[in-house]
Structure 1
């Protein structure tokens, strides 16, 4: 399962939103990855996500594979929208 988002936060994906996303998906058993600009990182790894240096306006793709993949994607979408990170 995969979903695409556009980062709208003025400062892009810096430490606080990265932490919120990582915390949001860490409870799920599925493998969850985030892709930006041809590079991919484990969404459960704060350092991996921050290393992608995703700016405001960046288009990201979040992919989940596993038994709770749909719930993991729904959680990512909830965090991104409710925290004003993107759409």
Structure 2
């Protein structure tokens, strides 16, 4: 299992389009993907779960990947946050 903290830097936070990008990216991997916000942990392959986190600008999240391609999965997800979901 690998994990990494990320901070949401796009001004609109995690709304429908970034949530869809996260699910599309996470679904490419066999590993289980989780996103944690404070004490909430959701399935990173569930668009409804991601949206219900209510993660806005400057929110810290923990990304967790567990499985055979966990390193690649984590790297791909971190890239989405680093690129501000290609919104800004």
Q: TM-score w.r.t. structure 1 length?
A: 0.91
Q: How does 1:60-71 map to 2 (within 5 A)?
A: 60-71=61-72
Q: How many residues align?
A: 84
Unaligned runs of 5+ in 1: none
Residue equivalent to 1:29: 30
Question: 1:37: Cα distance to partner?
Answer: 2.0
State the SS of the aligned residue for 2:65: strand
- Aligned-pair Cα RMSD in Å: 0.9
- Contact 2:34 2:63 survives alignment (8 Å): yes
The answer (yes or no) to whether the contact 2:7–2:81 under 8 Å persists in 1 is no
Where has structure 1 moved over 2 Å in runs of 4 or more?
A: none
Any stretches of 5+ residues in structure 2 without a counterpart?
none
Asked whether 1:76 is paired with 2:54, we answer no
Alpha-carbon distance in 2 for matches of 1:31, 1:73: 10
User: Structure 2 length normalisation: TM-score?
Assistant: 0.90
Rounded Cα–Cα distance in structure 2 between residues aligned with 1:72 and 1:44: 12
